[in-house]
Amino acid sequence: MKYEKSKAFAHTLDSNDRLAKYRDEFLYPKNNRKNEIIYLAGNSLGLQPKKVIKHIKKELSVWSERGVMGQEERWIKFHERFAEQTANLVGALPTEVVIMNALTVNIHLLLISFYQPSKTKNKIIIEKDAFPSDHYAVQSQIKLHGFDTKNTLIELLPRAGEKILRHEDIITSINEHKDELALIYLGGVNYYTGQSFDLEKITKAGKEVGAMVGFNLAHSIGNVLLDLHKWDVDFSAWCTYKYLCAGPGSPSGVFIHKRHHKWKGPRLQGWWGHNKESRFEMPSVFNAIDTSEGWQISNAPILGMAPLIAAMDIYNKAGMSSIREKGENMSFYMEYLIFHFIPSIKIITPNKRGCQLSLLVPNGKKVFKFILDNGVVCDWREPDIIRIAPHPLYNTYVEIFEFVKVLKKAVES
Ligand SMILES: *Cc1c(COP(=O)(O)O)cnc(C)c1O
C-alpha cells in the first residue's frame, strides 16, 4: 500500500478498516487523569474484552449454585471447548492442541518428552536472544539429563554488526551440527526484535537431520499465520495473555503433532491426562489419552480460563487472515511515518515480522519515559530498545499517527 503523511490519511485508513468495529469489544485503559491513553503494548498484555466479566460470573454462579456438581456437569470438559478455535489459530487438528498450565510449565512438560539426548546426539539450537525463561527451561532440562550446557547449547547470534539473525545462518547451523543435534527450539516471532522466522523451512531442515523441532509461539499466536500440522512441527507452546487478550497469567496452549499421540517415551503424568472413560474409577496405572490432552496433568483452572472464551470468540469472528493483514499494514504504516518524521530512529525489526516494531532510539530510556508521561503505553527492553506493538483488534491508524507525533516530540525535547 502507498501511505501518506497526513492525519487525514490515517482517518481514511480507519474508515476503510473492516476490523474497526472490534475496538468496541474491549475495555480501554485510562491514565490517572482519566484521559484515554494510546495502548501499544499488545505484545505484553492484551486488553480486556468487555465480555470477560460475564464469563467469569457464569462460572462463579455455577460454583455457588451447583458446587461440586458443576465439575461433572461442566468443568470436566471445560478445556475442550477451546480445541477447535485454537486449532484454527495455529493450523492444527483439534486433537493436536490443548489449553493447560502456564507457558514455561508447558515448555518443561514438552521438553521432558521431546528432548531425548543421547551420548552423541544431545545438542539444542536456541537463539542467544531468546526470552530468558526459554534459556532457563532449556538449561535445566540439559542438566536433568546430566549434560553440561556449555557443550550442549548452540546459541544463534546475529552476525557481527547486525541486529537480526539471518535465516540462512539458522539453516547453516542446523546442517553444521546435524549429527549431534537433538532439538531445535526457537521463538516463532522473536520477542525482542519482532522478527518472524520461517518455521516451515526451519522444521524441514530440522527433520532432515533427525532433530525434534519445537517453537515458543508466545509472540506468534494471534499475530501471524501458522500452519503447524502441515509444516510438520513436533511441538509448540504459547501463552494467551499477549495478543490473545485472555488476561494476566491466563493459561497456555500447546500443540503436539498427531504422529506423537501414541507416545511411549517419557512424560510427566497426571490424572487429567488419563483416559477419560476410566479416570474417575481412580486406577493407579496410567493410561494416557491418545491426543495432546494426554500431556495434561491437573484439572483446569476454570476461573483463569473463562476469559479465554470471550477472547477466542472475538478472534473467531474477526478471522486470523484479516487480523494478520491489518497487523502487517499497521506495522508498515508506522514504519513509514517514523521514517519520514523521525529519521534518526533506527528500526531493527525486519520486514518479515509480527505486528511490532523495535526501535533503537538514542537516549532511549528518557524517550520512553517521555512518551509514557504523554499517554502512550509501550515497552522498554534493556539495553536500548523501545517495543511498539499495536493490536489489529483494538488500535486505530489515528493512534499510530498520534503516537509518532509524541515520539517525535520526545526525540526532539
Ligand atoms: C511472555 C513469554 C513467556 C512468559 O512465560 P510464562 O511462563 O507465561 O510466565 C515465555 N516465553 C516467551 C518467549 C514469552 O514471550
The residue written with cell numbers 503424568 in the block is 269
Atom of ligand 1 nearest to the CA of 44: 1
For ligand 1, the distance from its centroid to the CA atom of residue 104, given in whole angstroms, is 6
Mean local confidence (pLDDT), 288-315: 97
pLDDT number for residue 283: 85
pLDDT number for residue 34: 67
The residues lining ligand 1, judged by C-beta closer than 6 Å to any ligand atom, are 102-104, 131, 133-134, 187, 191, 216, 218-219, 239
Radius of gyration of the chain (CA): 22
Among 43, 45, 99, 104, which is best to mutate for testing ligand 1, by the most ligand atoms less than 8 A from CB? 104
pLDDT number for residue 288: 96
Question: Dihedrals φ, ψ of 168, to 5°?
Answer: -65, -30
For ligand 1, the distance from its centroid to the CA atom of residue 170, given in whole angstroms, is 22
Mean local confidence (pLDDT), 22-29: 95
- The Cα–Cα gap between 123 and 115 comes to 9
pLDDT number for residue 143: 97
Atom of ligand 1 nearest to the CA of 130: 13
Mean local confidence (pLDDT), 236-259: 98
The pLDDT tens digits for 81-130 are: 999 999 999 999 999 999 999 999 999 999 999 999 999 999 999 999 99
Average pLDDT value for the chain: 96
- The Cα–Cα gap between 247 and 48 comes to 7
Atom of ligand 1 nearest to the CA of 252: 8
How many residues in total does the chain contain? Answer: 413
pLDDT number for residue 156: 97
Ligand 1 atom 14: the closest Cα is on which residue?
218
Answer with the residue of higher pLDDT: 378 or 31. Answer: 378
For ligand 1, the distance from its centroid to the CA atom of residue 218, given in whole angstroms, is 6
Ligand 1 atom 1: the closest Cα is on which residue?
218
The pLDDT tens digits for 137-153 are: 999 999 999 999 999 99
Residue type, 69: M
Ligand 1 atom 2: the closest Cα is on which residue?
218
Contacts of 115 (CB under 8 A, 6+ apart): 124, 141, 145, 182, 183, 212
Atom of ligand 1 nearest to the CA of 106: 7
Mean local confidence (pLDDT), 260-284: 93
- pTM for this model (two decimals): 0.96
- The Cα–Cα gap between 338 and 38 comes to 17
Mean local confidence (pLDDT), 269-296: 94
Ligand 1 atom 8: the closest Cα is on which residue?
103
Give the pLDDT band (50/70/90) at residue 297: very high
Mean local confidence (pLDDT), 221-243: 98
pLDDT higher than 90, residue 1: no
pLDDT higher than 70, residue 33: no
The pLDDT tens digits for 45-84 are: 999 999 999 999 999 999 999 999 999 999 999 999 999 9
Mean local confidence (pLDDT), 21-35: 86
Q: 119-131: b or e for each residue (b if 16 or more CB lie within 10 Å)? A: eebbbbbbbebbb
